[in-house]
Amino acid sequence: MFWNEEPKRSARIELIPMIDVMMFLLVFFVLISLNVIPAKGVKTELPASSQRETIKPARHLVVVIARSGQISMGNQQYSLPQLAQQLTTERKTVDHVDMVVSGDKGVDMQALIDVMDAARAAGITDVSIASKAR
């Protein structure tokens, strides 16, 4: 180093402005996700119709079969005839009902078939069986 030479300054990354920017982005995304700031889309005016129909919401049911053969839906336990009656009632209240059967891997296959038969008798045709990935 020579007498008249200035010492070299190393480049520094200022953290305070970067933290400020990250905080603003975080607040912005939180407000957007909570719908505090409404996301504006294209404004449309729907056409009118003299023949209108109200769409009933779909209902999703989860039926659990325990290893002991106990059947439950929601927080309530049912016998097979009671389940069939409840499924028929659910099917009458909404247009579309789908059902997921979640059973223990040790459940007798006949219990599964009985529950699926009860669903079909109630008019529920969308029946799935829950499983986990290997």
pLDDT tens for residues 10-29? Answer: 778 888 888 999 999 999 88
Domains of the chain: 59-129 (3.30.420.270)
* Cα–Cα distance measured from residue 118 to residue 120, given in angstroms and rounded to the nearest whole number: 6
Per-residue model confidence (pLDDT) at position 92: 87
Confidence of residue 133 (pLDDT cuts 50, 70, 90): confident
Q: What is the overall mean pLDDT for the chain?
A: 85
Per-residue model confidence (pLDDT) at position 36: 66
Per-residue model confidence (pLDDT) at position 84: 92
- For strand 126-129 and strand 71-73, is the pairing parallel, antiparallel, or unpaired? unpaired
**Percentage with pLDDT > 90 across the chain:** 33
pLDDT tens for residues 78-110? Answer: 999 999 999 999 888 887 889 999 988 888 889
Per-residue model confidence (pLDDT) at position 79: 92
